[in-house]
A and B are shown apart, each in its own frame.
Chain A
Amino acid sequence: MLRANVPIGIEGFGAYLPKHRIRLRDLPLAQGAVPQDFEKAICGPDEDAITMAKEAVERALRMAGVGKAGIGAILCGTTSNPYSGKPIGSVLSKALGIEGPILAADINFSGKSCSEAFLLCAGLVGSGMASRAIAAGSDSIPWGPWNEGAIYSSCGAAAFVLGRDGGSSIASLEGSSTWVMDALDTWALRGSAQRRNSGRFAERAMVQCVTSSVEALLRELGLGPGDFDHVILPQSDPRSASGLAKRLGFKPEQMEAGLVLPKLGNVEALSGMLGLVAVLDVAKPSERILVATFGNGAGSDSFSLLVKDAIEERERGDFLNQLSRKGYVDYAGYSRLLLGVSVSRA
């Protein structure tokens, strides 16, 4: 188990969701193959992983109310940096006005990039290398006929301000665990937008990594499935979370608050971490949260959080507000957004 030398806490969190949504039933290749009431977020013509990350980080900092002083690191998990040779982290540092002696970097390539950024930030704070660190995640994955496997792929960003656990933190990090396994479950070659999938073997890797990671965490913490009020499991498709929950002994009501797939789709690098934002938006003091993430070919991270009294003092509900702030586009509008052609609103 990965555990910091000093207690770590979340001081603020935030998310950004684009306004545009499409109902999955409106995607021609998806008809009949996906739950008819699912929808997902789509970036506007002037949005990308950088603009979304900036908004999420600003919201997290606003909630933390700690200003920008003392931030020693900003790490961003993403699989869709609009640049292939320039990190999002440095753009964020400039955009936030904290350029200079801070560590700014991107964590790339997988569906658990955001939780990797989160655990690395916890390590930086826990080791004393930074008094505060920002862990962000932002992704904008287009779906198209060239990429059928990514039909749930979506857009959004999340951010967390981590610091030493004290009076100002809203949740304490109790411990974390990770399980890494090299697997060719789903992958993409450099320069290719096409995701390749090894079919049923892909699911096997996910089950093995997530169960190993979660079981190790529970063992180390001396906790059982019933000790958690909220559980967030990988939700890349409708079956994965419920299948894992059944296998690990979690009940549907534990999963409810953190299940964002039906409303938002699968925001690859941060799908689980967006679930955490959704839970923190409604969590009560003393509730315990389990987060487990999975990245294709990357393994699984899991960690446990204990919600503190200070959460009641924060202004929350922003995530739910953003869920309801939406406008639907049809398939034609979706195609135009993907191709960068104007969306006629006249």
Chain B
Amino acid sequence: MSASGYLREAPRRYRLEGAACKGCGAIHFPPRAVCDRCGGRDFEARELSGEGELLAYTIIRHPPKGFEGQAPYAIGIVQLKEGVRVLAQITDCDPAELREGAKVEAVMRRIREDGGFIEYGYKFRPA
């Protein structure tokens, strides 16, 4: 990833900033250009709560490049309070003890070092 691309995404990576459609109120994460509910193109930035429920997960034991130091780790689909679903790494836990339906909360963590800089982004941990 380029440094400029990373910084463009920083608001959503660092603080889960989504977009709320001004026409119908639908919340999108990540933000998008056109609302898939009403076709509106007018949005306002909306910081999401980061509170959610783990819907499903899997454990990565053979990680891709850049994630070697973290394996084994879990990635999962989290349903946020706002209704948005997010795919993210689950941290601060023993993956073997995770359960679907567990309450989780968003945190900003190191994702990996690539391109000469450190990528930070959201992960979830058991609440």
Residues of chain A lying within 8 A (CB to CB) of residue B95: 345
Q: Taking the complex as formed, is B33 at the interface, i.e. its CB lies under 8 A from any CB of chain A? A: no
A94-B10 in contact (CB<8A): yes
Q: Taking the complex as formed, is A317 at the interface, i.e. its CB lies under 8 A from any CB of chain B? A: no
A51-B110 in contact (CB<8A): yes
Contact with A along B72-92 (1 / 0, CB 8 A): 100000000000000001011
Whole-angstrom distance between the Cβ of A75 and the nearest chain B Cβ:
19
A95, B50: Cα distance in complex, Å: 14
Q: Taking the complex as formed, is A139 at the interface, i.e. its CB lies under 8 A from any CB of chain B? A: no
Binds B, one of A42-50, A154-162, A299-307: A42-50
A230, B91: Cα distance in complex, Å: 36
A46-B110 in contact (CB<8A): yes
A97-B72 in contact (CB<8A): no
A216, B84: Cα distance in complex, Å: 57
A346, B53: Cα distance in complex, Å: 24
A346, B97: Cα distance in complex, Å: 10
Given the interface pairs A82-B118, A94-B10, the reply to whether A46 lies near B72 with Cβ below 8 Å is no
Q: Taking the complex as formed, is B55 at the interface, i.e. its CB lies under 8 A from any CB of chain A? A: no
Given the interface pairs A44-B91, A82-B118, A94-B10, the reply to whether A340 lies near B69 with Cβ below 8 Å is yes
Given the interface pairs A48-B110, A94-B14, A345-B94, the reply to whether A83 lies near B70 with Cβ below 8 Å is no
A46-B91 in contact (CB<8A): yes
A47-B110 in contact (CB<8A): yes
Whole-angstrom distance between the Cβ of B29 and the nearest chain A Cβ:
15
Q: List the B residue with the shortest CB-CB distance to A83.
A: B118
Work out how many contacts link A and B, with CB atoms closer than 8 A.
63
Given the interface pairs A342-B68, A342-B69, the reply to whether A47 lies near B109 with Cβ below 8 Å is yes
B47-A51 in contact (CB<8A): no
Given B47, B109, B123, which contacts A97 in the complex, CB threshold below 8 Å? B47
Report A89-119 residues with CB < 8 Å from chain B CB: 91, 94-97
Q: Taking the complex as formed, is A21 at the interface, i.e. its CB lies under 8 A from any CB of chain B? A: no
Q: Taking the complex as formed, is B103 at the interface, i.e. its CB lies under 8 A from any CB of chain A? A: no
A47, B89: Cα distance in complex, Å: 14
Q: Taking the complex as formed, is A316 at the interface, i.e. its CB lies under 8 A from any CB of chain B? A: no
- How many interface residues does A have (CB within 8 Å)? 23
Residues of chain B lying within 8 A (CB to CB) of residue A82: 118
A96-B91 in contact (CB<8A): no
A227, B52: Cα distance in complex, Å: 47
- How many interface residues does B have (CB within 8 Å)? 27
A345, B111: Cα distance in complex, Å: 19
A346, B74: Cα distance in complex, Å: 12
B108-A95 in contact (CB<8A): yes
Q: List the A residue with the shortest CB-CB distance to B14.
A: A95
Residues of chain A lying within 8 A (CB to CB) of residue B110: 45-48, 51
Q: Taking the complex as formed, is A30 at the interface, i.e. its CB lies under 8 A from any CB of chain B? A: no
Given B10, B14, B111, which contacts A46 in the complex, CB threshold below 8 Å? B111
Q: Taking the complex as formed, is B26 at the interface, i.e. its CB lies under 8 A from any CB of chain A? A: no
Contact with A along B54-78 (1 / 0, CB 8 A): 0000000101000011111000000
Q: Taking the complex as formed, is B96 at the interface, i.e. its CB lies under 8 A from any CB of chain A? A: yes
A82, B110: Cα distance in complex, Å: 11
A210, B99: Cα distance in complex, Å: 51
Q: Taking the complex as formed, is A284 at the interface, i.e. its CB lies under 8 A from any CB of chain B? A: no
B92-A19 in contact (CB<8A): yes
A51-B69 in contact (CB<8A): no
Residues of B in contact with A (beta carbons under 8 Å apart)? 10-11, 14-15, 17, 47, 61, 63, 68-72, 89, 91-92, 94-96, 107-111, 118, 120, 123
Q: State the 10 A-B residue pairs at the shortest beta-carbon distance, nearest first.
A: A340-B69, A46-B109, A95-B14, A342-B71, A46-B110, A345-B94, A45-B70, A45-B69, A54-B108, A51-B109
Additional A-B contact list (7), CB under 8 Å, known A44-B109, A46-B91, A97-B17: A51-B120, A82-B118, A83-B118, A95-B10, A95-B15, A346-B61, A346-B72
Residues of A in contact with B (beta carbons under 8 Å apart)? 19, 44-48, 50-51, 54-55, 82-83, 91, 94-97, 340-342, 344-346
